[in-house]
Amino acid sequence: MKKTIRKCAGSLALLSAAAAALGPVFYLLWGCIARPQGFFLTFLRTPEYLYKFWNSLGICAAITAGQLVVSCMGGLALAKYPLPCRRFLLGILVVVLLLPLQVTLTPSYLILDRMGLLDTVWALILPAVFSPFGTIIMWMTFRGIPDELMDSAQMDGAGPMKLLWEIMVPAGRTGAASVLLLTFVDAWNMAEQPMVFLRDVSKYPLSVFLASLDRNNFPLSFHSGLLSMLPAVLLLLNFREELMEGGGLMLEK
């Protein structure tokens, strides 16, 4: 009897959490269906929205590609090569990762100012590309791959780049998919960095632009929100198998 009550309570708690998480999404979909004129407003009457959308998509694609390259190279070096002070380097990466974003904004601003990159898209791209998050994820991923795979590839004449991109990354595709998806979502939702690093309001990405929309213009707000949600959802659906496989491996460990 007690087990049945616990199971019912657990199921009720999960359903409540799911309803709380999906409620805003269903409300957004209902708003788009109830106000079809929002499509016209979004695509034809508000050209700055489409500009912000494609501009933000390009910035996020550059951040994601750069983060993936840096993470795979750094993760492989830390996991499989005898680097001096490797534990110290990993500790530094973890400490930087645990720091709140607000703590790193000031030094990032000063460095970008010295480089003359403030008020440019590079002020958003470069700090995100060298974030330690992806490197730690790929270090954990590559560490779980047997050394024999790497040794056999080297015996067959594989160079460093071929070893990384044709052997190790496909073997660690679950970690690479996690880095790609999480990096894109984090870049797509960035808000503090544009407001600090960009002086020209017209250069703000979509995440900041949506907050400035007229709250009384519900059709435009609903459809703009729906379109801004699509890239992350499509990425999640595309990499769902890799993410589920990675979650299963973590549970086995």
At the top level of CATH, the class of 38-252 is mainly alpha
Q: Which residues contact 77 (CB under 8 A, 6 or more apart)?
A: 83
Cα–Cα distances (Å) from 6 to 1, 11, 15, in that order, read: 9, 8, 14
With bands split at pLDDT 50, 70 and 90, how would you rate the model's confidence at 67?
Answer: very high
d(CA 10, CA 25) in angstroms, rounded, equals 23
Environment class of residue 125 by beta-carbon count within 10 Å: exposed (0-12), middle (13-18) or buried (19+)? buried
Instruction: Say how many CA atoms lie within 13 Å of 98 toward its Cβ.
Output: 6
d(CA 143, CA 155) in angstroms, rounded, equals 20
Q: Model pTM?
A: 0.84
Q: Are residues 105 and 217 in contact, defined by beta-carbon separation less than 8 angstroms?
A: no
In this prediction, residue 128 carries a pLDDT of: 92
Q: For the ranges 64-73, 110-119, 120-129, 205-214, which has the lowest average pLDDT?
A: 205-214
d(CA 213, CA 221) in angstroms, rounded, equals 7
62 by DSSP, 3-state: which? helix
- Residue spans per domain, the chain: 1-34, 38-252
What confidence tens digit (pLDDT) does each residue in 15-36 have?
878 777 777 778 777 877 777 7
Q: Which residues contact 214 (CB under 8 A, 6 or more apart)?
A: 220, 221
What confidence tens digit (pLDDT) does each residue in 69-105 have?
999 999 999 988 888 888 898 889 988 888 888 888 8
In this prediction, residue 249 carries a pLDDT of: 45
Residue 99, token pair as written in the block: 């720091």
